[in-house]
């Protein structure tokens, strides 16, 4: 007898990810993220696959997070980031022939992003430092809990990091033999996502001034004379840099903010000799990268493009129509899909002989596993089977894709999930789920929250309304300045569509929920219609006027997305604020929010709760202490289970 999915089953999900082939192709390292229930935390361990015997071996065992693995060019060493419980992350090293873990650094401020020098003698890594701090400090300065905090900068807090203390990301050079650490950068801006040229003469990185929102530059630092030059001119947002194997080109990913933060990333190629840049993906109206929304992927790192050894092209992730897949791009600008199926690929590695790929993949009915793909073939060979027993023992509801024509005339894509167990002649309630962003994408991935609700006897509908990624730049941009307009029409049309298509749905028992932008939409929906009998709003926005000044992104996000500010268009902000329509809310509303959410701060929940309570409405506020905006995806396992339980119990009570 198969079991139904529960909130607690979240702890059974393993994230298998970040495969990296060794330079000789004989081994591949990857990471496994598992829940450590005793410590209410996660362990990340390194595993290695022997490509000849196909055996899998665990290489790290202690509690903690062992991640961001990188091979030396000769394949003899494996560097990674090691974060022991209650300690800051440090740089660590292992020999590929075997042996123990050697911790290279004891920097009190933590280390990230290891990159080997071509000769394997050094590692370049990132450290977050104040001007007064040094990588040679033996311990952090003592903090006075009662000292006043003084801020001079516009950007003074960040979700997941809290209130900032003037630290910026610097690059350091670590001697592998001696452990000696030497600063490489010192300018008081962030130096991020660095990479080194094959010749070892250049370090490329993204430079970000923390006081200028959503502007970053691609920079080249000469390791011979220490001079830095900017490839871009402070006109866009960039995230990734990668040298071609012959060292002649620098590939970078980003955009020039044509549609502000709704702009699709593009691929750019900089010729180091000619000092000229060309845009490779100008004709590709697709999102380069992974923009999938979900709750079952942990420990992800940004996927670097994978160059072919002849330096004539590379492979990269692309998101399209609810799928994330792999495209090949030539340096002349040609592009074609290598794999784009109904699935969610999160990371991949190209074998050195370019015959195959190792990839991490989720499907709508399976959390992540590792697969081998022979180039030119369509069949995948499964490498890990972390969820074999879990899926065999549980009922899994398989989403059914559908589409309809919006009022604008565009095709809108969505999915419908039946309840996990159904009886002939019985009517079932329907829950509408709305994703965050709004510039993200629902798709062909495993979503534990949806599976739990299906096991509770609910049908689920979720779509990619206007504003979502994956359907072209203009579709994504359509929602800016029009929140609660075309997107509201889309989600309501989706409800009507499935109610008409499935006669076992009970149109009198409708629920709605969503987080972040999806929380805004939930608040907006219950202020516009009484069709829903129950709602759960999560990490939401209720008041754009207060959001402007209290969110870590409020002052620019509000201008870009709502097309208004608190100086000249406060009426427009209020008109698009769900709080304005609170008197019209008759739907019982559960409000879930994290206490340390600085993206959509907790006052958004409190304002809504107080107004509803004062008006005698049916509402409840639940706050999660010490949790950030990312609670549902990477929060403490115990709180993630509690969150799911609150959602389940609210709908169970109100949709009975």
Q: What is the pLDDT of residue 301?
A: 73
pLDDT at 165: 85
Among the listed residues 171, 163, 160, the one whose alpha carbon sits nearest the alpha carbon of residue 203: 171
Same domain, 366 and 341: yes
This prediction has a pTM of 0.96
**Same domain flag for 427 and 318:** no
Question: Would 191 be classed as within a structural domain?
Answer: yes
The answer to the question of residue 18 being in a domain is no
Confidence band (pLDDT; 50, 70, 90) for 131? confident
Indicate whether 638 belongs to any domain. Answer: yes
Residue 323 token pair = 């799928």
Nearest to 541, CA basis, from 570, 579, 572, 567: 579
The CATH number linked to 227 is 2.120.10.30
For residue 583, give Cα distances in angstroms to 484, 526, 528, 578, 616. 17, 10, 10, 10, 10
Number of domains within the chain: 2
Domain match, 259 and 361 both: yes
Query: What is the C-alpha to C-alpha distance for residues 617 and 615, in angstroms, rounded to an integer?
Result: 6
DSSP code at position 3: B
Total residues belonging to the chain = 656
* Structure confidence at residue 138 (pLDDT): 81
What would the mean pLDDT of 186-193 be, rounded to a whole number? 95
How confident is the model over 278-294, as a mean pLDDT?
94
Could you tell me if 279 and 418 lie in one domain?
no
Same domain as 628, residue 556: yes
Judge whether 353 lies within some domain.
yes
Same domain, 386 and 444: no
* 589-602 mean pLDDT: 98
Q: What are phi and psi of 574, to 5 degrees?
A: -65, -35
Same domain, 305 and 177: yes
For the question of residue 516 being annotated catalytic, the response is: yes
Say if residues 83 and 89 touch (Cβ distance below 8 Å): yes
Query: What does residue 238 show for φ and ψ, rounded to 5 degrees?
Result: -130, 155
Residue 516's domain comprises: 397-654
Rounded to an integer, the average pLDDT of 344-366 is 98
pLDDT at 187 over 80: yes
Question: Are 424 and 557 found together in one domain?
Answer: yes
d(C-alpha 78, C-alpha 119), whole Å:
14
More reliable by pLDDT, 152 or 523: 523
Residues 6 or more apart whose Cβ sits within 8 Å of residue 610: none
Q: Do 498 and 378 lie in a common domain?
A: no
Q: Same structural domain for residues 386 and 401?
A: no
Q: Which of 296, 516, 540, 594 is flagged as catalytic?
A: 516
Question: Choosing from 22, 629, 632, 634, which is the catalytic residue?
Answer: 629
Q: Are residues 561 and 471 in the same domain?
A: yes
**pLDDT value for 143:** 78
pLDDT in tens, 482-520: 999 999 999 999 999 999 999 999 999 999 999 999 999
Q: What DSSP string describes 173-215?
A: EEETTT--EEE---SSSEEEEEEE-TTSSEEEEEEE-TTSTT-
Domain boundary among 390, 425, 452: 390
Cis ω for the linkage preceding 526 (within 30 of 0): no
In sequence order, the β-bridge partners of residue 460 are 417, 431
**What pLDDT is recorded for position 132?**
87
Beta bridge mates, 374: 356
Report pLDDT for 164.
Answer: 87
Domain boundary among 368, 390, 412: 390
| pLDDT tens-digit map of 220-264 | 999 999 999 999 998 999 999 999 999 999 999 999 999 999 999
| pLDDT reading at 98 higher than 90 | no
Active site residue 468: no
Specify if 649 maps to a domain. Answer: yes
Calculate what percentage of the chain has a pLDDT beyond 70: 100
Q: Are residues 329 and 414 in the same domain?
A: no
- Whole-number pLDDT of residue 145: 84
In a domain, 366, yes or no: yes
Residue 30 reports pLDDT greater than 90: yes
- Report whether pLDDT(299) > 80: no
- The whole-number pLDDT of residue 565 equals 97
pLDDT tens digit sequence for 620-640: 999 999 999 999 999 999 999
Q: Which secondary-structure segment (H or E) carries 253? A: strand 249-255
Q: Is residue 21 part of a domain?
A: no
Mean pLDDT taken over the chain: 96
Q: What is the pLDDT of residue 166?
A: 86
pLDDT at residue 466 above 80? yes
Of 358, 390, 422, the one marking the end of a domain is 390
Alpha-carbon distance of 255 to 282, in angstroms, equals: 11
Q: How many CB atoms lie within 10 A of CB 37?
A: 11
How close are the terminal C-alpha atoms of the chain, in Å? 26
Residues 343-356, mean pLDDT to the nearest whole number:
98
pLDDT tens sequence across 99-118: 789 999 999 999 999 999 99
**CATH for 403:** 3.40.50.1820
Answer whether residue 178 is part of any domain: yes
Question: pLDDT class for 535, splitting at 50, 70, 90?
Answer: very high
């Amino acid at each position: 007898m198969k079991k139904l999915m529960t909130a607690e089953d979240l702890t059974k999900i393993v994230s298998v990810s970040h495969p990296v082939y060794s330079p000789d192709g004989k081994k591949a390292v990857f990471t496994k993220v598992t829940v450590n229930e005793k410590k209410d935390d996660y362990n990340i361990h390194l595993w290695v696959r022997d490509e000849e015997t196909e055996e899998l071996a665990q290489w790290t065992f202690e509690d903690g997070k062992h991640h961001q693995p990188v091979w030396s060019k000769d394949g003899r060493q494996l560097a990674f980031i090691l974060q022991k419980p209650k300690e800051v992350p440090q740089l660590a090293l292992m020999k590929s022939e075997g042996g123990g873990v050697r911790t290279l650094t004891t920097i009190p401020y933590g280390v990230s992003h290891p990159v080997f020098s071509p000769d394997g003698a050094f590692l370049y890594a990132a450290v977050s430092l104040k001007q007064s701090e040094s990588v040679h400090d033996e311990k952090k300065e003592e903090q006075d809990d009662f000292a006043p905090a003084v801020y001079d900068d516009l950007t003074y807090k960040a979700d997941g990091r809290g209130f900032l203390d003037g630290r910026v990301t610097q690059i350091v050079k670590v001697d592998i033999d001696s452990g000696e650490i030497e600063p490489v950068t010192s300018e008081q801006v962030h130096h991020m996502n660095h990479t080194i040229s094959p010749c070892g003469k250049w370090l490329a990185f993204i430079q970000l001034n923390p006081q200028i929102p959503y502007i970053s530059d691609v920079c080249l630092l000469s390791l011979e004379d220490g001079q830095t030059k900017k490839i871009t001119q402070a006109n866009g947002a960039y995230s990734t840099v990668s040298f071609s194997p012959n060292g002649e080109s620098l590939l970078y990913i980003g955009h020039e903010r044509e549609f502000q933060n709704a702009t699709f990333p593009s691929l750019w190629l900089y010729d180091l000799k000619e000092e000229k840049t060309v845009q490779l993906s100008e004709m590709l109206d697709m999102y380069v990268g992974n923009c999938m929304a979900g709750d079952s992927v942990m420990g992800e790192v940004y996927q670097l493009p994978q160059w072919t050894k002849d330096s004539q092209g590379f492979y990269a992730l692309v998101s399209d129509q609810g799928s994330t897949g792999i495209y090949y791009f030539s340096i002349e600008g040609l592009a074609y899909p290598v794999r784009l199926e109904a699935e969610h690929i999160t990371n991949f590695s190209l074998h050195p002989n370019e015959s195959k790929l190792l990839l991490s993949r989720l499907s709508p009915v399976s959390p992540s596993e590792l697969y081998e793909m022979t180039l030119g073939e369509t069949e995948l060979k499964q490498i890990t089977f972390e969820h074999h027993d879990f899926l065999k023992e549980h009922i899994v509801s398989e989403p059914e894709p559908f589409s309809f024509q919006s009022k604008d005339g565009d095709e809108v894509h969505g999915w419908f999930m039946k309840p996990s167990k159904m009886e002939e002649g019985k009517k079932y309630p329907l829950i509408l789920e709305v994703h965050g962003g709004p510039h993200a994408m629902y798709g062909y991935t495993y979503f534990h929250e949806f599976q739990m609700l299906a096991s509770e006897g609910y049908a689920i509908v979720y779509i990619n309304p206007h504003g979502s990624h994956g359907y072209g730049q203009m579709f994504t941009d359509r929602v800016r300045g029009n929140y609660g307009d075309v997107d509201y029409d889309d989600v309501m049309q989706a409800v009507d569509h499935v109610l008409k298509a499935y006669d076992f749905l009970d149109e009198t028992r409708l629920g709605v929920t969503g987080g972040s932008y999806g929380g805004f939409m939930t608040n907006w929906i219950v202020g516009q219609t009484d069709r829903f009998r129950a709602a759960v709003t999560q990490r939401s926005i209720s008041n754009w006027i207060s959001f402007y000044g209290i969110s870590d992104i409020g002052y620019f996000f509000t201008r870009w997305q709502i097309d208004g500010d608190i100086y000249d268009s406060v009426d427009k902000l209020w008109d698009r604020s769900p709080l304005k329509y609170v008197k019209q809310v008759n739907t019982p509303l559960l409000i879930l929010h994290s206490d340390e959410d600085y993206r959509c701060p907790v006052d958004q929940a409190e304002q809504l709760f107080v107004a509803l309570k004062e008006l005698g409405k049916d509402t409840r506020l639940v706050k999660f202490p010490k949790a950030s905006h990312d609670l549902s995806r990477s929060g403490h396992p115990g709180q993630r289970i509690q969150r799911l339980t609150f959602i389940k119990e609210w709908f169970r009570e109100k949709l009975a």
